[in-house]
A and B are shown apart, each in its own frame.
Chain A
Amino acid sequence: MSALRRPVALGMPGRRADVGHAPGGPALAGGASSPLRGEETFPRAAKRELAKPQLRANLAHATSTIRAKRAAVVGEVPDWEALRDAGAAMKAEAMQRLPELLEELERAVTARGGVVHWARDADEANAIVADLVRATGAREVVKVKSMATQEIGLNEYLDEAGIEALETDLAELIVQLAGDTPSHILVPAIHRSRTEIREIFLEHMAGVDPELTDEPRLLAMAARAYLRERFLRAEVAVSGANFAIAETGTLAVVESEGNGRMCLTLPRTLITVMGIEKVLPRAQDLEVYLQLLPRSSTGERMNPYTSMWTGVTPGDGPQEFHLVLLDNGRTAALADEVGRAALHCIRCSACLNVCPVYERTGGHAYGSVYPGPIGAILTPLLTGAVDHDDPNSSLPYASTLCGACYDVCPVKIDIPSILVHLRTRGVDAGRGGVPAPEAVAMKAAGVVMGSPTAFRAAEAASRAVRVLARDGAVSRLPWPGSLWTASRDLPAPPKEPFRAWWARERGASAAEGGK
């Protein structure tokens, strides 16, 4: 679809190319299509996803469940707003002190027997992990759910290197077995109903009981049985990290199922891939985040299991520990003074669950492993997407700016303001050259509104449109008005323009009162 046929959709300036990335164009950070970038713009992808009624039903059910749970457990915390303020302030401090904190973390981890690696981008991180796994001689690794390793496409990379990466989180396992992609930060299989999950298990899970029903408890038991032996024989595990403490070198992983404990405890070698923004100055900071995260995320007072480890503990847990510190666009996000607050995100996914756009389109429409409101800012910031040809530059428009995401964010990221900032950044980058149809229309409107005579003529002309109205709205205008009505209704113009009504009803007295 060319830009001319739809200059405006969701209030978003038209794309010059709507599918993929023009070959020979500027190099895109993260690759033309990657875990951080889909093939098409948000409006196109959203249109496709909205045509799936089962998806919408699954999402509405799941998000309304979690919204109610979150509201209940947040409501019982007397100092919730003060905790949010503290969480935001400590993240802001960590960003300001990032260089020294990273060096302090490196020293502390090293002193406790860990090995720290640095990776500029996804390729470098993937190569480090693959080399570390090869050095152990293992051909398979067990994985704890981790957004950082999703973001760099680690599983696919290891697969090409002949190493099998087995996801052990239930939702990640569902996605992996189905050959699907995640659609939610916390619950990657949120787009699947229990019935669909049963079908995926029956089709793809080796040795599953053919009598399996769709009762969630039995589905969880099937996953337990399937993974048990793999945990017990695993030699290498790969994880992410929710928090890292600079002063002590402590890493923390927050989870529910016990798959995290299995991976972090049983194998001989543990490799943790962590974005550089996850570092916190002090252990005491955890007293705030461990209150904010579980209640915002799964709507529980506390998640079932949190593991903390510092380097290597002789006789307890992995005896070889590697920490990979990942940039992959984080420093680009940090350089944006408005956008950098997106790096405060603790990946709770509360903003997804309250977003009216996410609830309808689901996560796949965003084309990135980070969907929803936080994804709409984080993805373009990480990939530096300002070019109109980049599908990620459409993401800041995937919002009504209603502000629900800001209200629930446990670290008070002002997502609506950053969305507007990124829209501005995109429009500014696109200035110059042939004016877009939207710019021409705005210019014309400026001329008409600047002249009383022209405005009166326009008012009179608008009345002609009334013949097309049904139930107070115009759903179909002839070209070029069809460009607007293709994506939304136009309210029917009134029978009489305001100025005519005013002149008729109050013209004389208004003139007197004005004296």
Chain B
Amino acid sequence: MTAQASPDGVPDDARSVVLARVRAALAGSTGGGTGPSFDHAAPGAPPDAGPFAAGDALPGAPAGPGYLTADDEWETGTTGEALLALLTDRVVDYRATVTRARTAEVPAQLVRLLAGAGRVVVPAGLDPDWVDALRSAGTTVLVDGPDAPLTLADLDSAGAVVTGSRLAVAETGTIVLDGSPDQGRRAVSLVPDHHVCVVRGADVVRGLPAAMARLDVTRPLTWISGPSATSDIELSRVEGVHGPRRLEVVLVVDDDAPGQR
């Protein structure tokens, strides 16, 4: 961005002016624009930000920023069936569905869930066994890939979409897609009205801190908690607005200890 100088030599482009105003506003105060950093991994509590000392609210909390982090027993101690049951409870609470399948059962499960769905969109990186099963069942499969992206009209004409997922957060019933080849670009999981999303048991974490530790935020991320919804009419929740009105989660759990990390 080019800085323009006013006649008196002081840059007066918007960038320079706004930054100068910010520096001037902070000039008189403690720190003066170079304050301490909040450390998520620091021992002890965060800097006191109010009349209640940080950390007071959580007796026995371990060293850390005061809240429950990815290393906490709250997170690491919740595994296996307890973790999957929590995820299921929270996803169902949003009026989405959860069905379980072993890896080998996923193709048949997808066929069941998508019976009568019409044309089905899949990202190019989806497990070929799943796609073959759908085709064998007579479903028209539309493959969206970087080399041959579907048009918006194609996506709009499809009855459903199947994707994988990056991870799921049990505590909030949230599934995160990160645009990996089995999940596709963001539009494919948005435009079709019915989203079938496959979540691997090993990708389930309990809370937000553990989820953030696993995610690369520079990938395009879509966090999904139930079907689209609105609270705009009298602040009551109504499911189903612009995003998919049906969300069905297939939770893949084999015998080898679900949720182990």
Binding site for B on A (CB under 8 A): 58, 61-63, 65-66, 69, 78-83, 85-86, 88-90, 92-93, 95-100, 102-103, 112, 116-120, 124, 168-171, 174, 187, 189-190, 193-194, 197, 216-217, 219-221, 223-224, 227-228, 231-232, 245, 248-250, 256-259, 261-262, 264-266, 276, 281-288, 290-291, 294, 298, 300-310, 313, 315-317, 325, 327, 331-332, 334-335, 337, 340, 412, 414
Contacts and interface: CB of A to CB of B under 8 A. Distances in A.
Contacts of A216: 233-234, 236, 238
A124 B217 contact: no
Nearest to A93: B38
Contacts of A325: 18
Interface in B8-42: 13-15, 17-19, 21-26, 28-29, 31, 33-38, 40
Given A174-B232, A291-B208, 18 more contacts: A79-B61, A88-B49, A89-B54, A92-B47, A95-B35, A112-B218, A189-B233, A220-B241, A257-B230, A261-B222, A262-B243, A284-B40, A284-B209, A291-B207, A304-B94, A304-B227, A315-B149, A331-B24
A249 B24 CA distance: 25
Contact of A170 (B15, B219, B233): B233
Contacts of A174: 232
- Considering residues A112, A287, A313, A412, which has the most beta carbons from chain B within 10 angstroms of its beta carbon? A287
Nearest to A189: B232
Interface stretch (B77-85, B114-122, B182-190): B182-190
Contact of A302 (B174, B179, B218): B174
Contacts of A117: 14
A276 to B, nearest CB: 7
B19 A102 contact: yes
B220 A313 contact: yes
Interface in B39-87: 40, 45-50, 52, 54-58, 61, 65-68, 74
B232 A97 contact: no
Interface in B209-261: 209, 211-213, 217-244
Contacts of A78: 58, 68, 74
B186 A316 contact: yes
A404 B185 CA distance: 44
Given A65-B235, A316-B185, A256 B179 contact: no
B236 to A, nearest CB: 6
Contacts of B230: 170-171, 220, 256-257
A62 B231 CA distance: 10
27 contacts: A78-B74, A82-B58, A82-B65, A93-B35, A98-B26, A168-B242, A194-B234, A223-B241, A245-B217, A256-B228, A257-B232, A262-B242, A276-B22, A285-B40, A286-B217, A294-B172, A301-B171, A304-B228, A305-B223, A306-B222, A310-B220, A316-B185, A331-B24, A334-B22, A334-B26, A337-B28, A337-B29
B92 to A, nearest CB: 12
Contact of A284 (B156, B212, B240): B212
Contacts, number: 311
B173 interface: yes
Contacts of A332: 25
Given A223-B241, A316-B179, A90 B38 contact: yes
Given A190-B235, A265-B190, A301-B225, A317 B28 contact: no
Contact of B58 (A61, A69, A81, A248): A81
Interface of B: 1, 13-15, 17-19, 21-26, 28-29, 31, 33-38, 40, 45-50, 52, 54-58, 61, 65-68, 74, 90, 93-94, 146, 149, 152-153, 156, 169, 171-174, 179, 185-187, 190-191, 207-209, 211-213, 217-244
Given A81-B56, A97-B33, A307 B222 contact: yes
A313 B229 CA distance: 27
B17 to A, nearest CB: 6
Which 6 A-B pairs have CB atoms at the shortest separation, nearest pair first? A258-B243, A96-B35, A81-B57, A88-B49, A258-B242, A331-B21
Contact of B224 (A283, A300, A305, A317): A305
Contacts of B234: 58, 61-62, 65, 193-194, 216
A390 B238 CA distance: 41
A37 B207 CA distance: 41
A103 B19 contact: yes
A118 B93 CA distance: 43
Given A256-B231, A316-B186, A334-B25, A310 B33 contact: no
Contact of B235 (A187, A287, A288): A187
A317 B35 contact: no
Given A86-B67, A194-B233, A304-B226, A309 B40 contact: no
A261 B229 CA distance: 13
A120 B14 contact: yes
A258 B228 contact: yes
B242 to A, nearest CB: 4
Contacts of A334: 22, 25-26
B217 A308 contact: yes
Contacts of A62: 234-235
Contacts of A231: 242
A397 to B, nearest CB: 24
B242 A259 contact: yes
A334 B28 CA distance: 11
A102 B226 contact: no
Contacts of A305: 222-225, 228, 243
A304 B232 contact: no
A291 to B, nearest CB: 5
A183 B218 CA distance: 35
Contacts of B56: 81
B212 A80 contact: no
Contacts of A193: 234
B2 to A, nearest CB: 12
Given A120-B18, A216-B233, A221-B240, A287 B212 contact: yes
B31 A96 contact: yes
A249 B26 CA distance: 23
Contacts of A262: 190, 242-243
B199 to A, nearest CB: 15
A216 B237 CA distance: 9
A69 B235 CA distance: 10
A85 B15 contact: no
B39 to A, nearest CB: 10
Given A62-B234, A315-B146, A335 B241 contact: no
Nearest to A409: B50
